[in-house]
Chain A
Amino acid sequence: AQSVTQLDSHVSVSEGTPVLLRCNYSSSYSPSLFWYVQHPNKGLQLLLKYTSAATLVKGINGFEAEFKKSETSFHLTKPSAHMSDAAEYFCVVANTGGFKTIFGAGTRLFVKA
Protein backbone atom coordinates (compact mmCIF):
# COMPACT_ATOMS: atom_id res chain seq x y z
CA ALA A 1 0.00 0.00 0.00
CA GLN A 2 1.07 3.58 -0.53
CA SER A 3 0.29 6.80 1.27
CA VAL A 4 1.65 10.31 1.46
CA THR A 5 1.30 12.83 4.28
CA GLN A 6 2.06 16.50 4.00
CA LEU A 7 2.70 17.56 7.56
CA ASP A 8 1.61 21.19 7.25
CA SER A 9 -1.54 22.46 5.59
CA HIS A 10 -0.21 26.04 5.64
CA VAL A 11 3.30 27.49 5.83
CA SER A 12 4.05 31.20 6.06
CA VAL A 13 7.52 32.69 5.45
CA SER A 14 8.98 36.12 4.82
CA GLU A 15 10.46 36.95 1.46
CA GLY A 16 14.16 36.06 1.39
CA THR A 17 13.93 33.43 4.16
CA PRO A 18 14.22 29.65 3.67
CA VAL A 19 11.26 27.47 2.75
CA LEU A 20 10.65 23.98 4.15
CA LEU A 21 7.61 21.96 3.12
CA ARG A 22 7.45 18.55 4.73
CA CYS A 23 6.31 15.29 3.18
CA ASN A 24 6.36 11.75 4.57
CA TYR A 25 5.46 8.73 2.50
CA SER A 26 4.72 5.07 2.89
CA SER A 27 5.31 2.54 0.15
CA SER A 28 5.77 -1.20 0.01
CA TYR A 29 8.01 -0.82 -3.01
CA SER A 30 10.70 1.61 -4.07
CA PRO A 31 8.64 4.64 -4.89
CA SER A 32 8.98 7.49 -7.29
CA LEU A 33 8.36 10.80 -5.53
CA PHE A 34 7.36 14.14 -6.96
CA TRP A 35 6.57 17.68 -5.96
CA TYR A 36 4.06 19.70 -7.95
CA VAL A 37 3.14 23.36 -7.59
CA GLN A 38 -0.24 24.92 -8.31
CA HIS A 39 -0.72 28.65 -8.64
CA PRO A 40 -4.24 30.06 -8.21
CA ASN A 41 -6.67 28.95 -10.92
CA LYS A 42 -3.94 27.03 -12.72
CA GLY A 43 -3.11 23.40 -13.25
CA LEU A 44 -0.32 21.58 -11.45
CA GLN A 45 3.25 21.94 -12.67
CA LEU A 46 6.02 19.45 -11.96
CA LEU A 47 8.74 20.96 -9.72
CA LEU A 48 11.01 17.96 -9.36
CA LYS A 49 11.07 14.19 -9.23
CA TYR A 50 12.98 11.41 -7.49
CA THR A 51 13.27 8.10 -9.30
CA SER A 52 15.99 6.20 -7.36
CA ALA A 53 19.00 8.02 -8.74
CA ALA A 54 20.59 10.81 -6.65
CA THR A 55 18.91 11.33 -3.29
CA LEU A 56 19.20 15.12 -3.54
CA VAL A 57 17.03 16.29 -6.38
CA LYS A 58 17.14 19.75 -7.88
CA GLY A 59 14.08 21.21 -9.51
CA ILE A 60 12.92 24.36 -11.16
CA ASN A 61 12.89 27.85 -9.59
CA GLY A 62 15.60 26.99 -7.05
CA PHE A 63 13.69 24.25 -5.24
CA GLU A 64 15.26 20.99 -4.18
CA ALA A 65 14.23 17.93 -2.21
CA GLU A 66 16.10 15.19 -0.41
CA PHE A 67 14.95 11.59 -0.37
CA LYS A 68 15.62 10.04 3.05
CA LYS A 69 14.67 6.39 3.05
CA SER A 70 15.39 5.87 6.76
CA GLU A 71 12.98 8.67 7.64
CA THR A 72 10.56 7.96 4.74
CA SER A 73 10.64 11.66 3.98
CA PHE A 74 10.90 13.82 0.88
CA HIS A 75 10.93 17.40 2.15
CA LEU A 76 10.96 20.33 -0.27
CA THR A 77 13.29 23.25 0.41
CA LYS A 78 14.36 26.55 -1.09
CA PRO A 79 17.09 28.77 0.37
CA SER A 80 15.31 32.07 -0.23
CA ALA A 81 11.59 32.56 -0.78
CA HIS A 82 10.26 34.86 -3.46
CA MET A 83 6.81 36.40 -3.61
CA SER A 84 6.11 34.38 -6.76
CA ASP A 85 6.55 31.15 -4.76
CA ALA A 86 3.21 31.71 -3.04
CA ALA A 87 1.14 28.75 -4.22
CA GLU A 88 -0.05 25.31 -3.19
CA TYR A 89 2.43 22.46 -3.24
CA PHE A 90 1.61 18.79 -3.60
CA CYS A 91 3.80 15.83 -2.71
CA VAL A 92 3.08 12.77 -4.84
CA VAL A 93 4.10 9.13 -4.57
CA ALA A 94 3.90 6.85 -7.58
CA ASN A 95 4.83 3.29 -8.27
CA THR A 96 4.93 1.26 -11.42
CA GLY A 97 4.19 -1.85 -9.42
CA GLY A 98 0.51 -1.38 -10.04
CA PHE A 99 -0.36 0.99 -7.22
CA LYS A 100 -2.15 4.19 -8.03
CA THR A 101 -0.48 7.56 -7.95
CA ILE A 102 -1.27 9.17 -4.61
CA PHE A 103 -1.45 12.94 -4.08
CA GLY A 104 -0.87 14.55 -0.72
CA ALA A 105 -3.45 16.96 0.66
CA GLY A 106 -1.32 19.95 -0.28
CA THR A 107 0.55 22.68 1.59
CA ARG A 108 -0.33 26.28 0.92
CA LEU A 109 2.73 28.52 1.04
CA PHE A 110 2.29 32.17 1.95
CA VAL A 111 5.15 34.60 1.36
CA LYS A 112 5.12 37.89 3.26
CA ALA A 113 6.86 40.99 1.94
Chain B
Amino acid sequence: KAGVTQTPRYLIKTRGQQVTLSCSPISGHRSVSWYQQTPGQGLQFLFEYFSETQRNKGNFPGRFSGRQFSNSRSEMNVSTLELGDSALYLCASSLTDRNTGELFFGEGSRLTVL
Protein backbone atom coordinates (compact mmCIF):
# COMPACT_ATOMS: atom_id res chain seq x y z
CA LYS B 1 0.00 0.00 0.00
CA ALA B 2 1.54 3.28 -1.07
CA GLY B 3 2.11 5.89 1.62
CA VAL B 4 1.44 9.61 1.59
CA THR B 5 3.26 11.28 -1.29
CA GLN B 6 4.25 14.93 -1.24
CA THR B 7 5.69 16.87 -4.14
CA PRO B 8 7.98 18.60 -4.62
CA ARG B 9 10.34 17.47 -1.85
CA TYR B 10 12.52 20.56 -2.03
CA LEU B 11 12.00 23.96 -3.55
CA ILE B 12 13.52 27.42 -3.43
CA LYS B 13 11.52 30.57 -4.03
CA THR B 14 12.09 34.29 -3.62
CA ARG B 15 10.09 36.75 -1.57
CA GLY B 16 6.84 37.78 -3.20
CA GLN B 17 6.46 34.63 -5.28
CA GLN B 18 3.79 32.03 -4.72
CA VAL B 19 4.09 28.28 -4.30
CA THR B 20 1.82 25.27 -4.64
CA LEU B 21 2.50 22.03 -2.80
CA SER B 22 0.79 18.73 -3.54
CA CYS B 23 -0.21 15.82 -1.34
CA SER B 24 -1.57 12.43 -2.38
CA PRO B 25 -3.05 10.57 0.61
CA ILE B 26 -3.11 6.86 1.22
CA SER B 27 -5.73 5.21 -0.94
CA GLY B 28 -9.09 5.27 0.81
CA HIS B 29 -8.16 8.05 3.23
CA ARG B 30 -10.56 10.95 3.07
CA SER B 31 -8.96 13.41 5.47
CA VAL B 32 -5.87 15.42 4.59
CA SER B 33 -4.31 17.86 7.02
CA TRP B 34 -1.37 20.19 6.56
CA TYR B 35 1.28 21.31 9.03
CA GLN B 36 4.13 23.79 9.04
CA GLN B 37 7.24 22.76 10.93
CA THR B 38 9.98 25.23 11.84
CA PRO B 39 12.77 25.04 14.43
CA GLY B 40 11.35 28.00 16.33
CA GLN B 41 7.62 27.27 16.30
CA GLY B 42 7.61 23.50 16.08
CA LEU B 43 4.71 21.74 14.40
CA GLN B 44 1.77 24.00 13.67
CA PHE B 45 -1.57 22.97 12.19
CA LEU B 46 -2.53 24.77 8.98
CA PHE B 47 -5.82 23.23 7.87
CA GLU B 48 -7.71 20.01 7.32
CA TYR B 49 -9.81 18.90 4.39
CA PHE B 50 -12.35 16.12 4.38
CA SER B 51 -14.35 15.15 1.31
CA GLU B 52 -13.32 18.38 -0.47
CA THR B 53 -14.47 20.61 2.40
CA GLN B 54 -12.22 22.55 4.74
CA ARG B 55 -13.06 21.34 8.23
CA ASN B 56 -10.63 23.15 10.44
CA LYS B 57 -8.16 25.95 10.03
CA GLY B 58 -5.19 26.96 12.11
CA ASN B 59 -4.06 30.44 12.95
CA PHE B 60 -2.34 31.41 9.71
CA PRO B 61 -2.87 34.44 7.46
CA GLY B 62 -5.05 34.29 4.38
CA ARG B 63 -1.94 33.92 2.20
CA PHE B 64 -2.10 30.25 3.11
CA SER B 65 -4.86 28.37 1.35
CA GLY B 66 -5.66 24.87 0.29
CA ARG B 67 -8.10 22.65 -1.48
CA GLN B 68 -8.97 19.01 -1.88
CA PHE B 69 -10.04 17.26 -5.03
CA SER B 70 -12.62 14.53 -5.48
CA ASN B 71 -9.88 11.87 -5.45
CA SER B 72 -8.78 13.19 -2.01
CA ARG B 73 -5.54 14.64 -3.34
CA SER B 74 -4.85 18.02 -1.79
CA GLU B 75 -2.88 21.10 -2.62
CA MET B 76 -1.82 24.01 -0.50
CA ASN B 77 -0.84 27.39 -1.82
CA VAL B 78 1.15 30.18 -0.25
CA SER B 79 1.01 33.54 -1.98
CA THR B 80 3.30 36.54 -1.56
CA LEU B 81 6.00 34.48 0.11
CA GLU B 82 7.87 35.90 3.09
CA LEU B 83 11.23 34.83 4.52
CA GLY B 84 9.41 33.42 7.54
CA ASP B 85 7.53 30.97 5.36
CA SER B 86 10.68 28.89 5.02
CA ALA B 87 9.74 25.61 6.63
CA LEU B 88 9.05 21.93 6.19
CA TYR B 89 5.43 21.53 5.13
CA LEU B 90 3.98 18.19 6.13
CA CYS B 91 0.83 16.57 4.90
CA ALA B 92 -0.95 13.83 6.80
CA SER B 93 -3.84 11.64 5.84
CA SER B 94 -6.26 9.69 7.97
CA LEU B 95 -9.11 7.35 7.25
CA THR B 96 -11.79 9.55 8.75
CA ASP B 97 -11.23 12.44 11.11
CA ARG B 98 -7.76 13.77 11.93
CA ASN B 99 -8.90 14.15 15.51
CA THR B 100 -8.72 10.42 16.00
CA GLY B 101 -5.02 11.17 16.13
CA GLU B 102 -3.82 8.33 13.96
CA LEU B 103 -2.18 10.21 11.17
CA PHE B 104 0.00 9.02 8.33
CA PHE B 105 2.55 11.60 7.28
CA GLY B 106 4.37 12.23 4.05
CA GLU B 107 8.05 13.11 4.03
CA GLY B 108 7.29 16.77 3.57
CA SER B 109 8.10 19.58 1.18
CA ARG B 110 11.00 21.74 2.31
CA LEU B 111 10.48 25.32 1.19
CA THR B 112 13.28 27.85 1.29
CA VAL B 113 12.38 31.48 0.68
CA LEU B 114 15.27 33.79 -0.27
Contacts and interface: CB of A to CB of B under 8 A. Distances in A.
A105 B39 CA distance: 10
Interface of B: 4, 6, 42-43, 45, 56, 88, 90, 92, 97-108, 110
Contacts of A103: 42-43, 45
A101 B103 CA distance: 10
Given A43-B4, A101-B45, A95 B107 contact: no
Determine the interface band of chain A, counting residues with CB < 8 A from chain B: 20 to 34
Contacts of A45: 105
Nearest to B10: A41
Nearest to B108: A43
Q: Which of A43, A92, A98, A105 has the most CB of B within 10 A?
A: A43
A44 B105 contact: yes
Nearest to B43: A103
Contacts of B88: 41
A44 B88 CA distance: 12
Interface string A70-113: 00000000000000000000101111101111010110000000
Contact of B106 (A43, A46, A106): A43
Nearest to B101: A94
B45 A44 contact: no
Given A44-B105, A93-B101, 5 more contacts: A36-B105, A41-B88, A43-B108, A44-B90, A94-B101
